């Protein structure tokens, strides 16, 4: 089966996390686990009731899960318990990437996101019987904290028929799905001039890999790059270039949006001071010290034609915000114009709150002190932006152009045409968190049925943050705003990954979009609570099964990727 066929079949490889910098490990040590499933249903953990408003985050001892993972020299099999019934159709591997080593050669890195990669997996076979989980920790290279480096600790994504660990530099490393061994360093800038790249690419319907990366210089640009469906890097090409509005202080970005016809890029006030970045090797400054939030600029949505690479002339602005991750985006035609719906996770207070994740601080302060410090990070919202890609022929100054969507889209988001020809946006909130039902810090890590990427959709999954760590899984109907929540005391789930039921042939058909399961690897700060994989019914967030390891103290990792068994 071709990769694009696998993608369409499982609809699972998707974008979704953070400033990661240091060198990837090259040697391997691992723990291997096998278990047999016990057929016993258990539906604990599902919560649909509202949470009482507190006005304060819950405290959590973060220090317990920012400790370096001990390195093991060989695979050590042990037993895993399975609780509940795993659907027979569910076969494949869920991989998680994140940081697992902060202490290197007698030194400790400065920032949570600067540690070395820790990759592990759950492999599900045959729907019943044997299941395998392999947790891999890797020996570390002594890090250089002064430079952007290539520790690929953010995400894992396929390119062609191979899987690569990724970060926000240009470096990627192939990962062996069986052993989790990593290959030699490969870099986008071996094939073209770019200096950064996101760890949240998109996969086109034909299997092509699409990503963004910046090239710095006199003409700084945000480049859209493409690798063909075979994964041939020699054929890598730039398909679009967004010139930076301020080449000396270009925007930081973590991911981007994609409809079936257009590329969406958010140029944020979160900026990189290029002079400071280039002189860090002399000042021994961390990368975050070269980044700042410019309160004087707005956020701008910039659009490129996916087929031609042309940058559309329309100017779209909104209030300054930071948004690391995005939900789906799609287009609607009306009155000779083309409108776009784009769901996002904006934060209007954090202003680059990554500086709060200092390892020394997280390890040394009390849980209450950490939560007090993190209050300045504010709340991540789940919001919808609706705007014209192509203006209607008879658009008038002062008009809320979104009113023309009546009968096609119900939204309170506005898009007002200004005298200078630009369009000013106001968001629509998709979650009312006034009672903190999704947690003090709001919503993040949005995922959806990727078979509908670039098409109208209804359901978005993500994490709620009652603490500085995600402590619940959320499902939102983005059209009705109905919501479901799964939560369990002292448990911290990673981003929820949707896996579509194999029986689905048309995910846009009634009742089929959420016909599948949600997978998430969960950890705890409690020393006696082991890590486990949770499997939820994607319609109800009812627990179907969990696979519990004997491993405690597993570091928290943000991002998952699910790959089918025939990948």
Feature table: binding site: 200, 254, 325, 559
Phi, psi of 221 (to 5 degrees): -135, 150
Output the known binding site for Fe cation. 200, 254, 325, 559
- d(CA 23, CA 100) in angstroms, rounded, equals 13
- d(CA 116, CA 28) in angstroms, rounded, equals 13
Provide the b/e sequence for 428-449 (b: ≥16 CB within 10 Å). bebbebeebbbbbbbbbbbbbb
Phi, psi of 464 (to 5 degrees): -100, 145
Instruction: Give the alpha-carbon dihedral of 5, 11, 12, 13, to 10 degrees.
Output: 60
DSSP assigned state of 355: G
Element spanning 8, H or E:
helix 3-10
- d(CA 76, CA 81) in angstroms, rounded, equals 16
Strand partners, 463: 444, 473
How many residues belong to the chain? 567
- d(CA 331, CA 282) in angstroms, rounded, equals 48
Q: Is 47:486 a contact under the CB 8 Å cutoff? A: yes
Q: Is 120:133 a contact under the CB 8 Å cutoff? A: yes
Q: How far is CA 264 from CA 113, 236, 338, 343, in A?
A: 26, 20, 14, 11
Pair type for strands 130-137 and 120-124: antiparallel
Structure tokens at 57: 């985050």
Q: How many CB atoms lie within 10 A of CB 113?
A: 25
């Amino acid at each position: 089966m071709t990769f694009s066929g696998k993608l369409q079949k499982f609809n699972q490889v998707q974008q979704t996390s953070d400033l990661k910098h240091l060198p990837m490990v090259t040697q391997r040590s691992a723990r291997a686990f096998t278990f047999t499933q016990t057929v016993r249903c258990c539906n604990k953990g599902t919560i649909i009731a509202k949470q009482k408003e507190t006005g304060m985050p819950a405290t959590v001892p973060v220090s317990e899960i920012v400790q370096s993972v001990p390195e093991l020299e060989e695979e050590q099999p042990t037993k895993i318990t399975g609780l509940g019934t795993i659907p027979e159709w569910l076969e494949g591997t869920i991989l998680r990437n994140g940081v697992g080593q902060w202490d290197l050669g007698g030194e400790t890195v400065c920032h949570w996101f600067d540690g070395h990669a820790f990759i592990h997996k759950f492999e599900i076979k045959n729907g019943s019987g044997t299941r395998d989980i392999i947790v891999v920790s890797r020996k570390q290279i002594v890090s250089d904290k002064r430079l952007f480096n290539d520790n690929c600790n953010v995400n894992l994504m396929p390119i062609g028929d191979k899987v690569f660990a990724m970060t926000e530099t240009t470096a990627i490393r192939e990962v062996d799905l069986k052993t989790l061994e990593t290959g030699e360093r490969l870099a986008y800038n071996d094939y073209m001039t770019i200096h950064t790249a996101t760890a949240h690419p998109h996969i086109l319907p034909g299997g092509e890999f699409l990503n963004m990366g910046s090239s710095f210089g006199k003409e700084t640009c945000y480049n859209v790059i493409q690798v063909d469906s075979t994964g041939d890097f020699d054929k890598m090409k730039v398909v679009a270039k967004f010139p930076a509005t301020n080449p000396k202080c270009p925007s930081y970005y973590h991911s981007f949006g994609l409809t079936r016809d257009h590329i969406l890029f958010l140029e944020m006030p979160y900026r990189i001071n290029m002079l400071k970045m280039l002189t860090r090797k002399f000042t021994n400054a961390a990368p975050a010290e070269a980044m700042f939030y410019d309160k004087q600029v707005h956020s701008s949505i910039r659009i490129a034609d996916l087929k031609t690479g042309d940058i559309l002339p329309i100017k779209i602005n909104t209030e300054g915000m930071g948004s690391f991750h995005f939900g789906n985006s799609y287009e609607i035609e009306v009155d000779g114009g083309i409108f776009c719906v784009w769901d996002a996770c904006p934060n209007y207070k954090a202003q680059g709150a990554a500086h709060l994740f200092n390892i020394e601080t997280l390890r040394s302060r009390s849980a209450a002190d950490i939560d007090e410090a993190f209050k300045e990070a504010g709340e991540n919202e789940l919001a919808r932006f609706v705007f014209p890609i192509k203006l209607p022929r008879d658009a008038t100054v002062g008009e809320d152009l979104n009113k023309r969507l009546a009968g096609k889209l119900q939204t309170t988001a506005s898009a007002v045409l200004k005298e200078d020809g630009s369009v000013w946006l106001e968001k629509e909130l998709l979650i009312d968190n006034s009672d903190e039902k999704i947690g003090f810090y709001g919503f993040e890590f949005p995922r959806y049925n990727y078979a509908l990427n670039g098409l109208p959709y209804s359901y978005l999954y993500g994490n709620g943050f009652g603490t500085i760590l995600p402590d619940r899984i959320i499902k939102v109907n983005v059209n009705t705003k109905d919501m479901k929540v799964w939560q369990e005391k002292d448990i911290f789930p990673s981003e929820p990954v949707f896996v579509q039921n194999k029986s689905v042939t048309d995910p846009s058909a009634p009742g089929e979009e959420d016909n599948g399961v949600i997978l998430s690897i969960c950890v705890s700060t409690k020393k006696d609570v082991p890590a486990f994989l949770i499997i939820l019914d994607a319609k109800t967030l009812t627990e179907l099964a969990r696979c519990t390891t004997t491993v405690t103290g597993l570091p928290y990792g943000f991002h998952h990727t699910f790959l089918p068994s025939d990948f």
